[in-house]
Amino acid sequence: MNTDKPGERGTSTSQWDRFLSLLASHPRVKEKARPHYARWVRTWQKAGGAESPEKTRSFFEELSRDEQLENWHFRQAVSAVRLWCRRIEGPDWSDEFDWRALIDQVEVLEEDHPTRLREAIAIHDSPESAEEKKQRDRTPVEGKKEAVQELIEECRKAIRLKGHACATERTYLAWIRKFSYFRLRRLRQGIREFSTEALDAYLEFLALERNCSPSTQRQALNAIIFLARQVHGEDEIELNVPIRRGGRRRPPTVLTRSEVKAVIGWLEDPWKLMAEVAYGTGMRQIEVVRLRVKDLDFGRGIIYVHDGKGGKHRTVTLPQKLVPRLTSYLEEEKQRHERDLAIGEGEAHLPTALRRKYPRRGLEWGWQWVFPARKLCANPRSRHVARYHLHEKSLQRRFKEAVRKSETPKAASFHSLRHSFATHLLERGIDIRTVQDLLGHADVSTTMVYLHLMKTPGAGAPSPLDFDDFG
């Protein structure tokens, strides 16, 4: 006679009777938990968990992926299967199986754990709930959009008169816009007069509610101080909310030479050539896409970098391995440029003042972009139609896709090629001052971060794991 219960092949009725009796007499199994213990064992058996330790691990690994499953439910499932194996019918491998490891690997972090504390427990300095504050921050303020835009235009004018970089303009205006709406919505204040109390409140908001890093808080502070001094005319600003100093800058991502080769191997021209130029010269992403034909000096073996970060100019070495590829690539681009000239479309955009002085210079081959966009585009101000360079976002997308295809586990971006360039030169014994000049760093302390990323940091000190007498 078949004594198997439906769904439990190989499990006799007597075994289940013994298990239910065991659950009823077990001091740590509550009465309401007994049916659940039996259910977990049946589910484990149906999944074939009793066949091998690998099947059991696979069963519990799948179980752990269930977001609705509470941590105590998982512990209960492990306890049930362990009890069955030890007291009823244990496979040969069950005595050596590490059941505790299953529980330890899914231990959930408490809300007051250091990793979760700042995210789980917020500061409430008013009777309003966090959701009520968020709702008020999103509420439109009628008639104030134009006032904020007018303030933004004043700040834009002041920034350009100071000659700040485009990135600074974009960052400052974004923070000033956020600060203005914070005053209008959260504090119910006007924005035409500077208020130290509003600045303190905004810095507290960034630190306590937004959990922004110290560097982000300082960036916001710099933007608001610029607003106060250059637009509102406030010279004396007393800050009552301290901003702690951040720790050492997070080390940048550096690829090994084999990883660089693997990632670049998944790219196609012109993206591949752009990546090779970046890794071979240490140029920034925006510097690569803004290269013009005249900047490549094949005779002297150098590349001129104009208007780099901080408006600085420098020269970098033109990799000799790239000369044949660049030459062939530029010959094709020149033929395309000549075809464009024949139909009246072979012009590259120039700075407005330069084009006003030399109207025909944008048609010259030397002023063409090395990596031009295929579509013509109108100048936002003059509406003059000509050609810009490739968009750096498209380059970022292509590079990210190549990183994924190469199965490189690092969080690498296109800028990682610049970090890799500096680190690999230092590993080959190149003087740090030379690397500083090639990168265009104003201070050698900026370049020194790469000393900590070399294969042999700490003057080549070995790891204790590599000693001969270990293991």
Choice among 309, 314, 325, 384 that is catalytic: 309
Separation between Cα atoms, residue 435 and residue 49, nearest integer Å: 58
Choice among 337, 418, 419, 424 that is catalytic: 418
Active site residue 397: no
Choice among 284, 349, 387, 389 that is catalytic: 284
Active site residue 452: no
Measured CA to CA in angstroms, residue 29 lies from 20, 64, 104, 313 at distances of 11, 22, 20, 75
Choice among 57, 272, 384, 415 that is catalytic: 415
Active site residue 257: no
Active site residue 124: no
Separation between Cα atoms, residue 260 and residue 369, nearest integer Å: 25
Q: Which residues contact 117 (CB under 8 A, 6 or more apart)?
A: 111
Active site residue 418: yes
List residues with catalytic annotation. 284, 309, 415, 418, 441, 450
